[in-house]
Chain A
Amino acid sequence: MHIMSNTQSPSLFDQLGGQPAIEAAVDIFYRKVLVDDRISRFFEGVDMDRQRSKQKAFLTMAFGGPVNYSGKDMRNGHAHLVKMGLNDSHFDTVIELLGGTLKELGVADGLIQQVATIAESTRNDVLGR
């Protein structure tokens, strides 16, 4: 599944560099998340390997790559965090860190905007609304 692809130009996922770009981004992104005082508490005490693969799936989705996420998965996966107080401000922070990660990797602003738009589309499911 390629979101936002069309026949004329390469897909967003390909423009971003595909799977290798995900690999490059995931550790940078995960480190940002772990040290950010605004959201780090939601990522404490969890298995880091499992957490990393979840981050990878999230990035793949946001990059317009091949994942099968349903809104229901999103809701179920984050329900316990919503109970811990996960709200819009935390979601904003994640989007911000995602943008920062891509900037660090030298991704053009236009593409970062597209990634943010896809990530944004999960907001209500993540926050259980």
Chain B
Amino acid sequence: MPTLNFQSQSFPFDSGESVLDTLLRNGVPVSYSCKAGNCGACMLRAVDGEIPASAQAGLKDSWIAKGYFLACCCRPSDHLAVVPLDADARIAATIADITSIAVDVLRLRLRTEPFAFRAGQYVTVSLENGLARSYSIASLPGEEYLEMHIRLLPNGRMSNWLRNEAQPGSPLQLMGPHGDCFYTPGQAHRPLLLIGTGTGLAPLYGILRDALRNGHHGPIHLFHGARQPAGFYLNDGLSALAREHTNFQYTPTISPIDQTVAEHYPKPKETSAFLCGDPTLVQLLRKKLFLAGMDLRDIHADAFLPST
């Protein structure tokens, strides 16, 4: 019987069984989600043996070259040795581009070593001088760039560095990913309520596209709150997505966002909610949704804590 080596352990497997199933059957705690080759959460690296081409379908050439593959789609016929992509390791990244996308928002795109994450999670960006800040990921696993939306703060050291000094090619390090505000496949019919203010939109943008990519067909409603219309920095892209997907609705609002949501959803039922952004508002929304009848376990929140 062929064997699968995972770090120092060795597991026999039947041909036809996926690497993910072999590991799970043996109680190895590996991250995974869709088990269908979409989410990228179960990505591992092969260090010895032959990887079936189907386990690398859709991955970037540079990743394939390094032996990265999706464990859920990998059904090896012979011996294979694999290692995890260490979630807490420092991930090398370089700046691809920095673009101003609103008066006070920068879009940062990075090239990174491959690492497993879920859209909507966040990473900590650190510079050589030790300065570190956490930002939510707006891109999906497998996309060319890791994308973040950075709010420019008057005294924000990282945001000022990004605006004034950083250049394409500048090196960074990432730690993570962290956070449990992400889409979980398996309930494609369930209504999703995505609510964010300011750059709280970033993780929601990732979660939204992750859901659509996973074939979510239940209604998805995204509310984006800003102080002024200029703050709706993804208005065009989100409006286009709403035209393409009849189950997706986008509501930008400059009114108090909890009131806007309450008008649309006086009684949210059997819904999963994702709340991101200003901590006070996240807390308020959480309470209001709970009082409106939602189960706290269905309310996923990511409160952005400021640091300068």
Q: Which residues of A contact B (CB under 8 A)?
A: 27, 30-31, 34-35, 45, 48-49, 52
Contacts and interface: CB of A to CB of B under 8 A. Distances in A.
Contacts of A31: 290-291
Contacts of B295: 27
Q: Which 9 A-B pairs have the closest CB atoms?
A: A31-B291, A52-B296, A48-B286, A48-B296, A34-B291, A49-B296, A35-B291, A34-B287, A48-B290
Interface residues of chain B: helix, strand, loop or mixed (majority): helix
A51 to B, nearest CB: 9
Give the most central of B286, B290, B295: most A CB within 10 Å.
Answer: B290
Contacts of B287: 34, 48
Chain B interface bracket (under 10, 10 to 19, 20 to 34, 35 or more): under 10
A70 B182 CA distance: 39
A35 B295 CA distance: 16
Contacts of B286: 48
Interface of B: 283, 286-287, 290-291, 295-296
A30 B286 CA distance: 13
Nearest to A49: B296
Contacts of B291: 31, 34-35
A48 B290 CA distance: 10
A1 B208 CA distance: 47
Contacts of A35: 291
6 contacts: A27-B295, A30-B290, A34-B290, A48-B287, A48-B290, A48-B296
A49 B286 CA distance: 10
Nearest to A45: B283
A6 B120 CA distance: 52
A114 B78 CA distance: 66
B245 to A, nearest CB: 32
A30 to B, nearest CB: 8
A81 to B, nearest CB: 18
A52 B294 CA distance: 13
A30 B290 CA distance: 9
A27 B287 CA distance: 12
Contacts of A49: 296
A26 B212 CA distance: 34
